[in-house]
Structure 1
Amino acid sequence: MKMKCILTLPEVDGILIAARNEAAKNNWPVTIAVVDDGGHLLGLSRLDGASPASASIATEKARTSAIGRRESKAFEDMINGGRFAFLSTPLLATLEGGLPIMFDGQCVGAVGVSGVKSDQDAQIAAAGVSTALRRSPTDS
């Protein structure tokens, strides 16, 4: 049997706080979603002024990144590069703004952000991911 790391509530809270701080610093009204390695929602924060639709989009960006084990932008780039077969995958948000959380070589979850330009969404997600990666397994 193989052991694996998982995101716990303190990590999810830390990710959401760091991402919200990045969004607030730039005055960006977004939704931030954190999912586990299977793409299941662990935490969601829709900031004041964020579109209601951004909640679904952020969650799907995170889900795409978690189950795809890569940035959601990679799928967007593949499709834009002519690999249209990726349109038939079960990945619903193949847009920039979803980043996997990799720990000890394993995907433990992902962060997805929606509400501003895609590269800005990714910037906010990166702030959350970097917070998760600063924690060591003994911090929990």
Structure 2
Amino acid sequence: MNFFTSTKTLTHEGTMRMLQAGIERAEQTGQPQCLVIVDASGEVSGELRMSGAKFLSRKSALAKAVTAASNRAPSANIPEGFRPLIAAATGGSVTGLPGGLPIMLDGTCVGGVGVGSGSGEQDIEVANAMLSAIGADTFE
């Protein structure tokens, strides 16, 4: 019997590279953002609120990252009709808002990223830039 598995985890160097890539893309779009990175269990490994980003967007960015890591899918994949129920049941820690993407490496989810303060499209663009910085799968 095998009682243990080998697990990939994101290093602090990877976290910093992702944050820097997110900052750069957000600056290119002209929209300051809140950036959050969580590990596969939803614990924060890095976060930043850029100057000028909406301070409440940090909470939504965290919820997006946790949702993506938990579901191993983009946060916006939660069906519209379930969004209010899931948000209420989890005290707002799960959301269907766009901008949360899982960090997928070789088919394994090692965490999630959440971006908030821009439009859904801007949030996803910045989240994908963060994933690209470490060679993780990106999403449309």
Which residue does 1:67 correspond to in 2?
A: 70
**Paired positions, count:** 130
Structure 1 residue matching 2:51: 3-state secondary structure = coil
Query: How far has the Cα of 1:55 moved from its partner?
Result: 1.1
Output aligned runs, 1:33-44, within 5 Å: 33-44=36-47
AA at the equivalent of 1:17: Q
Q: 1:101 touches 1:133 (CA, 8 Å); kept in 2?
A: no
Q: 2:87 touches 2:95 (CA, 8 Å); kept in 1?
A: no
AA at the equivalent of 1:112: G
Which residue does 1:127 correspond to in 2?
A: 129
AA at the equivalent of 2:115: V
Which residue does 2:96 correspond to in 1?
A: 94
**2 CA distance for matches of 1:67 and 1:28?**
27
Q: 2:76 touches 2:97 (CA, 8 Å); kept in 1?
A: yes
**2 CA distance for matches of 1:23 and 1:58?**
14
Please, which runs of 5 or more residues in structure 2 have no aligned partner?
A: none
Q: 1:96 touches 1:118 (CA, 8 Å); kept in 2?
A: yes
TM-score (norm 1): 0.86
Q: RMSD in angstroms over aligned alpha carbons?
A: 1.6
**2 CA distance for matches of 1:11 and 1:20?**
14
Which residue does 1:137 correspond to in 2?
A: none
Which residue does 2:33 correspond to in 1?
A: 30
**2 CA distance for matches of 1:48 and 1:40?**
24
Which structure features the higher share of helix residues?
Answer: 1
**1 CA distance for matches of 2:113 and 2:105?**
14
Please, which runs of 5 or more residues in structure 1 have no aligned partner?
A: 135-140
